[in-house]
Amino acid sequence: MLITIPDVFTPEEVRTIRDQLDTAAWDNSNKTAGVQSAEVKHNQQLDAKDATAQNLGKLILERLGHTPLFLSAALPLKILPPLFNRYEQGETFGLHVDNAIRLNLYNGEHIRTDLSMTLFFSEPEEYDGGVLEIEDHYGTQSVKLPAGHMVLYPSTSLHRVTPVTRGARVSSFFWLQSMIKANEQRTTMYELDQTIQTLAARFGTNDPEVVRLTGIYHNLIRTWSEV
């Protein structure tokens, strides 16, 4: 399931964030890459302990905690602190799959990466190339979103970022462990939740069928969750 989360940040907020990112200290290390992906990773990144990265990461997590569409699609259990990357002319990240287990540098906790996220901080017209391509059962999905928008997709997916040929692509990327491990079950829960919200808006939250479906939703959470 690939889900776009629009308007995580407003254009005004994006400009404030970009002002900080554009003056940050970028390097081209491969600290977050696995053995295979390090060979195809050619971009710039902020150190995870950089003050700008830490402050903006906290801002992102706080905002997502109040974003209903994200919570519905992800059912997050544990979220790694957001990281930040930058692609300029000629930089790219070849085809790879994200590591299954990652370490939270701040608390020493290992988490399973169920979902990967990219939050864009460059407008599409600011750069050429730099398309996030995600392979799934329906073919290759191309993602290049407006600044302030985010994409959420299974970490099991092969994906790449095509070479940037003009401008700079700036984004945040991070991972989470969901309460629901299986992608198919997560998709079912998302579709059920969206249906409940639609029916509740039409008939009211106390409509008997809405109440019944809400009960089914929570009973499935009990059955499938790892909490």
Residues of the binding site? 96, 98, 159, 169
Q: List the binding residues for 2-oxoglutarate.
A: 169
| 167: CB partners within 8 A, 6+ apart | 88, 89, 122, 126, 127, 128
List of residues 6+ apart from 185 with CB closer than 8 A: 220, 224
Q: Would you state the structure tokens that stand for residue 94, as one six-digit string?
A: 């070849």
Residue stretches of the annotated binding site for Fe cation: 96, 98, 159
- CA–CA distance, 45 with 200 (Å, rounded to integer): 43
CA–CA separation, 146 and 16 (whole Å): 16
What are the backbone dihedrals phi and psi of residue 178, each rounded to the nearest 5 degrees, phi first? -85, 160
CA distance 54 to 106: 11
Report DSSP state, residue 2.
-
CB-based contacts of 212: which residues, under 8 Å, 6+ apart? none
Specify the DSSP element, H or E, that contains 132.
strand 132-136
DSSP H/E element including 4: strand 3-5
Measured in residues, the chain has a length of: 227
* Rounded Cα–Cα distance for residues 198 and 81 (Å): 32
